[in-house]
C-alpha cells in the first residue's frame, strides 16, 4: 500500500475533488439564476396581460353601465307616462264613485230623517194617549183616595182629636222631623238602605197624620172634596172597609216604628259618661284584641266597631276554618305600630273601659279595620261605619270571604252551649289564680282550660252581675 502511494506520487487527488465540487456549485447557481430570470419574465408578461384585461374590463363595464342607465331612464320615463295615463283615466272613475256615495248618503240621511220624524210623531201620539190615560187614571185614583180619606176621617176623628192637643202635637212633631233629618244624615253617611226607608216612612206618617188632623180640625179641608156625600154614605152604611184598612195600616207602621227604635236603642250615640270626661290621650298603642288598645296605661275600646272574639274561628267557604279573632288583633297591631296614636275618649262601657275614636295621623283606625273586613261595624240607625262594612262585604274581604258570624251571635251561641254543660245551667267559671278571684266567660280563650275546684273556693256563676256582686273581677281574656 505504501508502495502504491509512492507509484502515484505525481497525481494531486485533493485538488481534483475540490475542483469538481466547485464546478458543480457553479452550474447549480447558473441554473437557479436562469430559473429566477425566467420567473421574473413570466411575472412581467402576466402583469402586462392582467393590466390589459383590466383596462378592457373597465371599458366594458363603463359601456354596460351607460347602456343600463340609458335603458333605466327610458323605462322610468315610460313608467311615469303610463302612471300618468292611468291616473288620468282613474280620476273620472273615482269622482263618479264619490258622487254616487254622496247621493247614497244623502238618500240615507233623508230616509233616517223621515224615520225620525215618523217616530217622533208616533211617540207624540203615544205620549198624548198615555197622558190622557194617566190623567184619567189619576182622576179616578184621586176620587178613590178622596172617598177613602173622607170615609177614614169619621173613624179616625178620635185619633185626630188627640193629635190636635198641644202636649201631644209638639213632641210627636219633633219626632217626625227628627226621623226625616236622621234619615237624610244616614243617606249622606252610609247611602240609601232599608233603615232609611223605614225612618222616612215613620217621619212622613207622623207629619201626614198631623197635617190631616189639622185640616180636619180647620173644617175646610174636607169640604173641598166633591165626593163628600158619597163618603158619608159609605161611612154610615155598613162597616167602613177602607177606613178600617187605613187604621190597620197605621197601627202596623206604628208597631214597626216601635220595633225599629227598640232594636236600635243600643246603637244610638251615647251621651258622655258622667264619670269619664271627654279627654285626649296620645302615645304608642298596643293591640289587646281586635277592637281594644292599651295606650299610656289606659285600656280603650274603639267606638263603632266590634271585633271577632279572641279565639273565634270563622269559615272560609264552607269547610275551611281560620282564626279570625287572632287575625283582627294582628291587623290592629299592624296599624298602631306605624306611629303615634291619638284617641278622643268620650264614654265608658259596662265594664268601666274607656271608649273613643283613635287616629294615626289623618287615618281613622276603626274605619281602616272595617274597610279591610277585619272587624264588624256596630249595627243601628246611627252606626258610623255601616257603609264601609257594606263595601267590604261586596268585595269579600276579611271575615266576609266566607260565613261571617258577628261577635254577639258567637257569644250567644257559646253561652247556650256552655249553659247546657254547666252545673245548674250557670256557665260562668269563677277561678282563683295567685290569690286573684276572676270569672271567665264561655267565649274566653281560657274557658276550656280552666277546671273548677271547689276546695280552693272556686265556683260557678249564672251571670256577670252575680259574679261582680260576689267580689269577682272579669278575666283579662273575657
pLDDT, one tens digit per residue, over 337-379 is: 988 999 999 888 877 788 999 999 999 999 999 999 999 999 8
Last residue of a domain, one of 242, 267, 292: 267
Q: Do 257 and 296 have their domain in common?
A: no
Q: Do 353 and 248 have their domain in common?
A: no
Is the pLDDT confidence value at 76 over 50? yes
Q: Do 390 and 433 have their domain in common?
A: no
Mean pLDDT over 176-194 rounds to: 72
| Cα separation, 323 vs 336, whole angstroms | 21
pLDDT, one tens digit per residue, over 129-147 is: 887 877 777 677 766 666 6
CA 12 to mean position of chain CA atoms: 127
Look at residue 125 and tell me if it is in a domain: no
Is the pLDDT confidence value at 259 over 70? no
Look at residue 188 and tell me if it is in a domain: yes
Q: Which has the higher per-residue pLDDT, 104 or 413? A: 413
Look at residue 25 and tell me if it is in a domain: no
Look at residue 82 and tell me if it is in a domain: no
Mean pLDDT over 427-445 rounds to: 89
Mean pLDDT over 233-254 rounds to: 47
Mean pLDDT over 418-430 rounds to: 92
Location of C-alpha cell 257594606: 390
Which cell goes with 62? Answer: 363603463
Please choose, from the candidates 339, 308, 283, 334, the residue with its C-alpha nearest in 3D space to the C-alpha of residue 413: 308
Q: Over 252-263, what HEC string results? A: HHHHHHHHHHHH
Residue 276: predicted pLDDT: 44
Instruction: Lowest mean pLDDT of 21-30, 145-154, 291-300, name the range.
Output: 145-154
Q: Do 399 and 421 have their domain in common?
A: no
Instruction: Tally the domains of the chain.
Output: 3
Instruction: Lowest mean pLDDT of 154-163, 212-221, 451-460, name the range.
Output: 212-221
Q: Which has the higher per-residue pLDDT, 139 or 331? A: 331
Q: Do 429 and 319 have their domain in common?
A: no
Q: Do 228 and 317 have their domain in common?
A: no
Confidence grade of residue 1 (pLDDT, cut at 50, 70, 90) = very low
| Cα separation, 280 vs 354, whole angstroms | 11
- Domain of 323: which CATH number? 2.40.50.90
Instruction: Lowest mean pLDDT of 113-127, 237-251, 271-285, name the range.
Output: 237-251
Look at residue 67 and tell me if it is in a domain: no
Strand partners, 357: 344
Q: Do 384 and 421 have their domain in common?
A: no
Q: Do 157 and 212 have their domain in common?
A: yes
How many Cα atoms within 13 Å fall on the side-chain side of residue 84? Answer: 6
Is the pLDDT confidence value at 219 over 60? no
Look at residue 363 and tell me if it is in a domain: yes
Q: Which residues contact 282 (CB under 8 A, 6 or more apart)?
A: 295, 296, 340, 341, 342, 343
Residue 253: predicted pLDDT: 57
Mean pLDDT over 298-326 rounds to: 86
Q: Do 428 and 359 have their domain in common?
A: no
Is the pLDDT confidence value at 236 over 50? no
Local structure of residue 476 (DSSP, 8 states): T
Mean pLDDT over 159-174 rounds to: 70
For 303-363, give the DSSP string. Answer: TTEEPPPTT--EEETTTEEE-HHHHHHHHHHHHHTTS-EEEEEEEE-TTS-EEEEEEETTE
Look at residue 434 and tell me if it is in a domain: yes
Q: Do 382 and 440 have their domain in common?
A: no
Is the pLDDT confidence value at 244 over 50? no
Which cell goes with 173? Answer: 212633631
Is the pLDDT confidence value at 69 over 50? yes
Last residue of a domain, one of 239, 267, 295: 267
CA distances from 258 to 107, 167, 168, 171, 239 (A): 69, 20, 17, 16, 29
Sign of CA dihedral 230, 236, 240, 246: positive
Q: Do 397 and 284 have their domain in common?
A: yes
Confidence grade of residue 201 (pLDDT, cut at 50, 70, 90) = confident
Confidence grade of residue 19 (pLDDT, cut at 50, 70, 90) = confident
How many Cα atoms within 13 Å fall on the side-chain side of residue 166? Answer: 0
Q: Do 155 and 253 have their domain in common?
A: yes
Is the pLDDT confidence value at 383 over 70? yes
Whether residue 349 contacts residue 464, with contact meaning beta carbons closer than 8 Å, is answered with no
Whether residue 294 contacts residue 288, with contact meaning beta carbons closer than 8 Å, is answered with yes
Residue 195, φ and ψ in degrees, nearest 5: -60, -35
Is the pLDDT confidence value at 467 over 70? yes
Average pLDDT score, the chain? 77
Location of C-alpha cell 180647620: 218
Please choose, from the candidates 119, 144, 121, the residue with its C-alpha nearest in 3D space to the C-alpha of residue 225: 144
Q: Is 287 helix (H, G, I), strand (E, B) or coil?
A: strand
Burial class for 91, CB neighbours closer than 10 Å (0-12, 13-18, 19+): exposed
Confidence grade of residue 192 (pLDDT, cut at 50, 70, 90) = low
Q: Is 55 helix (H, G, I), strand (E, B) or coil?
A: helix
Look at residue 218 and tell me if it is in a domain: yes
Confidence grade of residue 252 (pLDDT, cut at 50, 70, 90) = low
Instruction: Lowest mean pLDDT of 148-157, 228-237, 441-450, name the range.
Output: 228-237
Which cell goes with 211? Answer: 197635617
Last residue of a domain, one of 267, 291, 313: 267
Mean pLDDT over 171-197 rounds to: 73
Q: Which has the higher per-residue pLDDT, 388 or 184? A: 388
pLDDT, one tens digit per residue, over 273-308 is: 334 445 889 999 999 999 999 998 889 999 999 999
pTM of the entire structure? 0.50
Q: Whole domain around residue 436: which residue ranges? A: 417-474
Is the pLDDT confidence value at 55 over 90? no
Instruction: Lowest mean pLDDT of 11-20, 39-48, 76-85, name the range.
Output: 11-20
Amino acid at each position: 500500500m505504501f508502495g502504491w502511494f509512492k507509484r502515484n506520487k505525481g497525481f494531486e487527488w485533493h485538488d481534483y475533488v475540490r475542483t469538481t465540487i466547485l464546478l458543480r456549485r457553479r452550474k447549480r447557481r447558473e441554473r437557479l439564476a436562469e430559473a429566477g430570470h425566467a420567473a421574473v419574465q413570466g411575472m412581467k408578461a402576466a402583469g402586462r396581460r392582467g393590466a390589459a384585461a383590466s383596462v378592457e374590463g373597465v371599458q366594458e363595464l363603463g359601456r354596460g353601465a351607460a347602456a343600463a342607465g340609458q335603458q333605466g331612464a327610458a323605462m322610468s320615463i315610460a313608467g311615469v307616462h303610463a302612471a300618468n295615463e292611468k291616473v288620468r283615466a282613474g280620476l273620472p272613475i273615482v269622482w263618479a264613485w264619490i258622487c254616487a256615495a254622496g247621493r247614497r248618503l244623502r238618500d240615507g240621511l233623508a230616509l233616517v230623517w223621515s224615520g225620525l220624524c215618523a217616530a217622533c210623531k208616533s211617540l207624540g201620539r203615544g205620549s198624548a194617549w198615555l197622558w190622557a190615560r194617566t190623567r184619567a187614571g189619576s182622576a179616578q185614583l184621586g176620587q178613590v183616595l178622596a172617598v177613602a180619606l173622607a170615609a177614614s176621617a169619621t173613624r179616625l176623628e178620635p185619633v185626630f182629636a188627640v193629635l190636635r192637643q198641644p202636649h201631644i202635637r209638639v213632641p210627636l212633631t219633633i219626632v217626625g222631623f227628627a226621623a226625616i233629618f236622621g234619615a237624610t244624615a244616614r243617606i249622606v253617611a252610609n247611602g240609601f238602605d232599608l233603615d232609611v226607608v223605614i225612618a222616612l216612612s215613620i217621619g212622613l206618617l207622623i207629619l201626614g197624620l198631623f197635617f190631616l188632623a189639622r185640616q180636619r180640625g180647620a173644617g175646610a179641608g174636607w169640604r173641598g172634596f166633591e165626593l163628600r156625600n158619597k163618603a158619608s154614605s159609605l161611612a154610615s152604611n155598613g162597616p167602613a172597609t177602607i177606613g178600617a184598612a187605613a187604621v190597620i195600616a197605621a197601627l202596623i207602621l206604628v208597631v214597626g216604628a216601635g220595633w225599629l227604635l227598640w232594636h236600635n236603642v243600643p246603637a244610638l250615640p251615647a251621651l258622655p259618661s258622667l264619670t269619664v270626661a271627654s279627654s285626649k290621650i296620645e302615645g304608642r298603642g298596643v293591640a289587646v284584641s281586635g277592637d281594644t288598645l292599651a295606650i299610656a296605661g289606659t285600656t280603650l275600646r274603639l267606638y263603632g266597631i266590634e271585633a271577632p272574639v279572641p279565639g273565634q274561628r270563622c269559615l272560609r267557604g264552607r269547610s275551611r276554618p281560620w282564626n279570625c279573632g287572632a287575625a283582627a288583633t294582628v291587623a290592629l297591631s299592624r296599624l298602631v305600630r306605624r306611629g303615634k296614636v291619638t284617641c278622643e275618649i268620650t264614654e265608658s262601657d259596662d265594664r268601666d273601659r274607656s271608649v273613643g275614636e283613635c287616629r294615626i295621623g289623618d287615618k281613622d283606625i276603626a274605619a281602616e279595620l272595617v274597610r279591610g273586613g277585619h272587624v264588624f261595624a256596630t249595627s243601628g240607625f246611627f252606626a258610623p261605619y255601616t257603609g264601609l262594612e257594606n263595601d267590604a262585604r261586596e268585595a269579600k274581604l276579611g271575615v266576609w270571604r266566607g260565613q261571617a258570624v258577628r261577635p254577639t251571635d258567637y257569644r250567644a251561641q257559646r253561652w247556650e252551649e256552655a249553659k247546657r254543660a254547666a252545673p245548674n245551667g250557670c256557665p260562668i267559671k269563677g277561678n282563683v289564680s295567685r290569690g286573684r278571684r276572676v270569672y271567665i266567660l264561655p267565649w274566653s280563650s281560657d274557658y276550656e282550660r280552666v277546671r273548677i275546684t271547689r276546695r280552693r273556693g272556686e265556683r260557678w256563676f249564672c251571670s256577670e252581675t252575680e259574679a261582680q256582686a260576689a267580689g269577682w273581677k272579669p278575666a283579662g281574656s273575657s
